[in-house]
Amino acid sequence: MNSHNPPDLPDPTTVLDLIDAFRRSQTMFTAVRLGVFGHLYARESTAAELSAALSAGASALERLLDGCVGLGLLKKQDGRYSNLPVADTYLRPDSPHSLCGYVLYSAAALYPMWGHLDDAVREGTHRWKQTFDLDGPLFSHFFRTEKAMHDFLMGMHGFGLVSSPAVVAAFDLGAFRTLADLGGATGHLALAACERYPKIRAIVFDLPGVIERVRRYAIHSPVVDRVTFVPGDFFQDPLPQADLFALGRVLHDWREEKIRLLLRRIWERLPTGGGVLIVEKLLDDDKTGPLPALMQSLNMLVCTEGKERTLAEYASLLRDAGFAGVRGARTGQPLDAVLALKR
């Protein structure tokens, strides 16, 4: 009888890692929801001490805390837990750089909708109705409750604090005088532009319900006197007067026909020589990377009408609206930048 060695099998590490990936996310989500990192900022604690403060079972909480140690979020020494700097900075609710809003929004809204990704792929539509029985305008879903609005805005704020300084540095914007940030939320992009360019003034233009809640996030900035918050709907209301419009994480929400409408409105409002700055994750030309942009494009499938795009796709949309001189820049941060001009 002849014996044959079986062929070498490929390394299963990638598959095994992906099987475990949601467990890691949920460990962090749960620790944030329970308030672990906020409590450990004040003092290091044992699992028993923390369980009393958080109304959690000591043995079960210890497993969660040890999981956070394994994830590189907490430190454990002699049975006492404390935050590592990454958790103090990004997972503590009162940190100025907190990403808790995005964590809470991901846990409460995105995670359940991603459970219906198969249906989203089959039908090509978002999952708000299927998951939460919600109809109506898209952003009424994001803002369906006061807490949902707060978590979403804080998520965009924390994400923007990471990306906006690099975005406004991607091109020399010093020749512009007034930046209108459409859908600008807490004003992180407008503030970053004013901090980098001393002659720029900025307008944050967003829905009335957003504007009335976000002014307070700018009050501690040294450039707050150069930023104005204006309520409005950029699809329907008159746009502010500006020579540079910014669209940060806006275009990826919408289909091409709505994007063309918005870009044309901007083009008509701009003076000759004015520009539009698009802030999004850029897909590679062949759409096989980078991985964060691919995952975000799937995220857009489950929760919006839109998707992520390549620089060439944005350039085509911009040229259709009348813009020229389209340039793209990878920032090295979660969001990239595209600049185009009205000739």
- Catalogue the active-site residues: 252
* 318, 340 contact by CB (below 8 A): yes
Amino acid at 132: F
The closest alpha carbon to 35, from 4, 9, 61, belongs to 61
Chain-centroid distance, C-alpha 13: 29
Q: Which helix (H) or strand (E) holds 278?
A: strand 275-280
Chain-centroid distance, C-alpha 20: 23
SS3 329: strand
Q: Which helix (H) or strand (E) holds 82?
A: strand 80-83
136 exposure class (CB count in 10 Å sphere: 0-12, 13-18, 19+):
exposed
CA dist., res. 335 & res. 329, Å (int)? 10
* 254, 306 contact by CB (below 8 A): yes
Which long-range contacts (C-beta less than 8 Å, at least 24 apart) are formed by 296-301? 296/252, 297/252, 298/117, 299/110, 299/114, 300/252, 300/253, 301/117, 301/120, 301/121, 301/124, 301/126
